[in-house]
Structure 1
């Protein structure tokens, strides 16, 4: 089944520019890297109608929705988006009301902000809003974009709790069901900055078929057809592949005890690198062997 929608998952702290400053236009030069090549600009370029796409910023995960929502509207407007609004869904009954379903039906892009991913799944999970979003993602030229909590909740399996420092002690990482847009992966965010690699190791060793994705801040993945992943943004994406694990003590130790893992494979992606979820093959865009590979192909 070919999936028509696109998924953009972001590690958090998206650089929207200094929109809290009153002299934004005077300082625009300081943000040119973002405005020209940033993640939100890429979302616009990938959307169905580009600058005319209907975008709904959904603040369900956030505890400060009235503050964070307008920041995204300002950022997207500055990048040329003409049709952006904020959708505050903070109760399950709202996700069942026709007026909000109609807004989703008319949307080309939904942008889920950061916050608490458990709020997202507990408020939206299993509602008509959730069902319609999945239907649009599978069957339409539609983008689900999520940062931080919005990214973590995108997959079938979702990390919702677990300290960074104690993450490789058995039982420290808590996992539940996410929104289910993509299967076969589990996503962690603020990954490099908060030292969360141990959380992802434990998530993967418990089910090695699932590929762990660790997203740095202002870094993300653009995923097409639920398999073709391209790194976007300014930082790193860490992939943890457990399929070749040879041994672990996971089932032998008590809760709270350290976990051992033998032969866990990792990949590090940066901007424009790609990874295919079907073949588990990575392509480095600026490979040091690129000229040699080209020479061999010419022969």
Structure 2
């Protein structure tokens, strides 16, 4: 990622549940918007090229209710004083060649992909001119790709698109295909803690231990810079699954539908402000209990060690 100029902000989902979709948006918005308090959308605005004046395009392709979801994002950003926001309702591949769509993507400082079905998102946008423009802007410009739920899952080169939580550690239950390839060598799962999807990520990683598994909790995300630094944002947890130290597995020996065993899978848990370096694979806890000295020197009454006492003053 060293040559990338843009940023990724990937979110685990549910930022719009019980928040800006509330009917009391105009009357009692502050009580509904928990993600404003934890700063996910506010952080997107702050990290963008022109702040509140940045051009933001919301893409609802993954959603089955795009005409309902799109306007709610406009309301949410407007509440944060970001009003240069539009919605692109791209529902067919042919729409990606529309000159107006292309012009709007080229002018965008931020694209925000909503939740829904990530396979729908990649099958419609993958390999199109619009996809190429997003990749180029992400690599070469001060540009943000932001995605929640499906929009987050689709950001990597490998993408989980199917697999039940309860059966996730049975061989063959997790389905993986190609994503939009903004980031390599990771695989992202969303709604992670709430839907118990850790088994899905275990299976995805054991199949290729070079891949770092990223599990995003709801109302939680990662800000990923071009230097490969990840920072946890939002109110919940990010689970990282590192398979490079795996010692043994029965993955290739068992039949489809049979349980998978894994020895020595490494798991990290991140919360807000914690960071992780994708190059060194090292994590830093923001508020570590070990960041203060373990031992504090005791004060001494020994005058021999007091530089303020002159030798002539000693009896």
Structure 1 length as normaliser, TM-score?
0.95
- Closer/same/farther in 2, CA of residues 106 and 169 from structure 1, 3 Å limit: same
Once residues 161 and 32 of structure 1 are traced to their aligned partners in structure 2, the CA distance between those partners, rounded to angstroms, is 30
Once residues 224 and 295 of structure 2 are traced to their aligned partners in structure 1, the CA distance between those partners, rounded to angstroms, is 26
* Equivalence for 1:66: 67
Q: Deviations over 1:133-165 (max 9, x none)?
A: 000000000000000000000000000000000
* Equivalence for 1:104: 105
- Closer/same/farther in 2, CA of residues 182 and 18 from structure 1, 3 Å limit: closer
* Equivalence for 2:154: 153
Residues 42-191 of structure 1 correspond to what in structure 2 (within 5 A)? 42-191=43-192
Indicate if the aligned counterparts of 1:17 and 1:75 stay in contact, CA closer than 8 A. Answer: no
Indicate if the aligned counterparts of 1:191 and 1:217 stay in contact, CA closer than 8 A. Answer: yes
Q: 1:20: how far off?
A: 4.0
Count of aligned residue pairs for this structure pair: 296
Higher-Rg structure is 2
- Closer/same/farther in 2, CA of residues 13 and 233 from structure 1, 3 Å limit: same
Q: 1:24: how far off?
A: 3.0
**Which stretch shifts more, 43-52 or 12-21?**
12-21
Q: Deviations over 1:169-204 (max 9, x none)?
A: 000000000000000100000000000000000000
Residue 234 (structure 1) aligned with residue 196 (structure 2):
no
- Closer/same/farther in 2, CA of residues 198 and 32 from structure 1, 3 Å limit: closer
Structure 2 length as normaliser, TM-score?
0.90
Q: 1:22: how far off?
A: 4.7
**Which stretch shifts more, 25-34 or 173-182?**
25-34
Indicate if the aligned counterparts of 1:16 and 1:75 stay in contact, CA closer than 8 A. Answer: no
Q: Deviations over 1:68-109 (max 9, x none)?
A: 111111000111102001001110011122211100000000
Once residues 33 and 123 of structure 2 are traced to their aligned partners in structure 1, the CA distance between those partners, rounded to angstroms, is 38
**Which stretch shifts more, 28-37 or 100-109?**
28-37
Indicate if the aligned counterparts of 2:38 and 2:235 stay in contact, CA closer than 8 A. Answer: no
Indicate if the aligned counterparts of 2:149 and 2:190 stay in contact, CA closer than 8 A. Answer: yes
Indicate if the aligned counterparts of 2:12 and 2:152 stay in contact, CA closer than 8 A. Answer: yes
Q: 1:18: how far off?
A: 3.7
Once residues 294 and 221 of structure 1 are traced to their aligned partners in structure 2, the CA distance between those partners, rounded to angstroms, is 35
- Closer/same/farther in 2, CA of residues 255 and 226 from structure 1, 3 Å limit: farther
Once residues 178 and 240 of structure 1 are traced to their aligned partners in structure 2, the CA distance between those partners, rounded to angstroms, is 19
1:19 is paired with a residue of what secondary structure?
coil
Once residues 7 and 21 of structure 1 are traced to their aligned partners in structure 2, the CA distance between those partners, rounded to angstroms, is 28
2:292 is paired with a residue of what secondary structure?
helix
Indicate if the aligned counterparts of 1:111 and 1:146 stay in contact, CA closer than 8 A. Answer: yes
Q: 1:54: how far off?
A: 0.2
Indicate if the aligned counterparts of 1:182 and 1:226 stay in contact, CA closer than 8 A. Answer: no
- Closer/same/farther in 2, CA of residues 104 and 263 from structure 1, 3 Å limit: same
Once residues 237 and 13 of structure 1 are traced to their aligned partners in structure 2, the CA distance between those partners, rounded to angstroms, is 14
Q: Which runs of 5+ in 2 are unaligned?
A: 297-315
- Closer/same/farther in 2, CA of residues 17 and 108 from structure 1, 3 Å limit: farther
Q: 1:35: how far off?
A: 2.7
Once residues 272 and 294 of structure 2 are traced to their aligned partners in structure 1, the CA distance between those partners, rounded to angstroms, is 20
- Closer/same/farther in 2, CA of residues 202 and 30 from structure 1, 3 Å limit: same
2:181 is paired with a residue of what secondary structure?
coil
Indicate if the aligned counterparts of 2:231 and 2:274 stay in contact, CA closer than 8 A. Answer: yes
